Amino acid sequence: MNLNELTLHHAQGSPNSRRVRIFLAEKGLIVPMVTVELSRGEQHTSAYRAVNPRGVVPALTLQGGSTIGEVPAIWRYIEESWPEHPLLGSTPEGKARVIMWERWVELEGFAPTMDGVRNQAQGLKGRAVAGPHDYEQVPALVGRSRARVGHFYDDLEARLQQSLHVASDAFSAADITALVTIDFASKAFSAPLPAAHAATRRWYETVASRPSMSA
């Protein structure tokens, strides 16, 4: 498998795209990238739907032209193909723990943040759920999302008081999703990490200083 025969379809401001770019950078892998212009609705064109019928980024086109969508699926493909510097765990239990914690971050932090943004933003009226189908915003979800992000921050703090990183003491994909969540919640949902969360701030500084994080 030659890296030059892959194509990552991504968008600069898309937090899901960033999860994949950081993962690649942590592995030291350079993959050709194509930008999908979300602000111009390029993800909904028939050209892009032929790449990824769900109409979302990121998506990874393989040698031969077939495409893998969804962040955890792209990660798994990369980890299986280039196993050095594992980010998804090394033992059966370690692999399960990365999935468990990464999923916890996604379900309790990342998804509520996205839900809050999508059900609030003026520009996403009628487009409250990512994907090919149109749904109206549910304004009552915004407050619930904000409460959920608050609980996520509290629970993450409790976790990082016990553990150097999210899934274990070692850096993993769970840390990538957590950092991307915090940055996006702060920037797009006015929900920054609370100042009092000392363990999370210590972890954030360590993780944010990794060269991959600018990817």
Q: Do residues 30 and 94 make contact, with C-beta atoms less than 8 angstroms apart?
A: no
Phi, psi of 144 (to 5 degrees): -65, -40
CA distances in angstroms from 18 to 15, 23, 49, 162, 179, listed in the order given: 5, 8, 21, 27, 10
Which of 29, 33, 72, 188 lies at the binding interface for a copy of itself (CB under 8 A)? 72
User: For a copy of itself, which is the closer residue by CB, 26 or 102?
Assistant: 102
Q: Does 85 contact a copy of itself by CB under 8 A?
A: no
Q: Does 199 contact a copy of itself by CB under 8 A?
A: no
- Smallest separation (angstroms) from a copy of itself to the CB of 108: 7
Closest CA to 173 of 84, 69, 58, 88: 88
Q: Which stretch binds a copy of itself (CB under 8 A): 4-12, 43-51, 68-76, 190-198?
A: 68-76
Q: Which stretch binds a copy of itself (CB under 8 A): 30-38, 144-152, 173-181, 185-193?
A: 144-152
- Distance of alpha carbon 37 from alpha carbon 160, whole angstroms: 36
Q: Does 9 contact a copy of itself by CB under 8 A?
A: no
Q: Does 104 contact a copy of itself by CB under 8 A?
A: yes
Which of 30, 138, 198, 208 lies at the binding interface for a copy of itself (CB under 8 A)? 138
Helices (DSSP H) in 62-172: which residue ranges? 71-81, 92-105, 111-118, 140-162
Q: Does 131 contact a copy of itself by CB under 8 A?
A: yes
Q: Does 183 contact a copy of itself by CB under 8 A?
A: no
CA distances in angstroms from 165 to 68, 143, 172, 188, listed in the order given: 28, 29, 8, 25
Residues 45-64 that bind a copy of itself (CB under 8 A): 54, 62
CA distances in angstroms from 130 to 13, 28, 108, 123, listed in the order given: 15, 30, 17, 13
Closest CA to 176 of 19, 32, 37: 19
Site residues, a copy of itself (CB under 8 A): 54, 62, 66, 68-70, 72-74, 76-77, 80-81, 91-93, 95-97, 99-100, 103-104, 108, 128-129, 131-133, 135-136, 138, 140-141, 144, 147-148, 151, 155
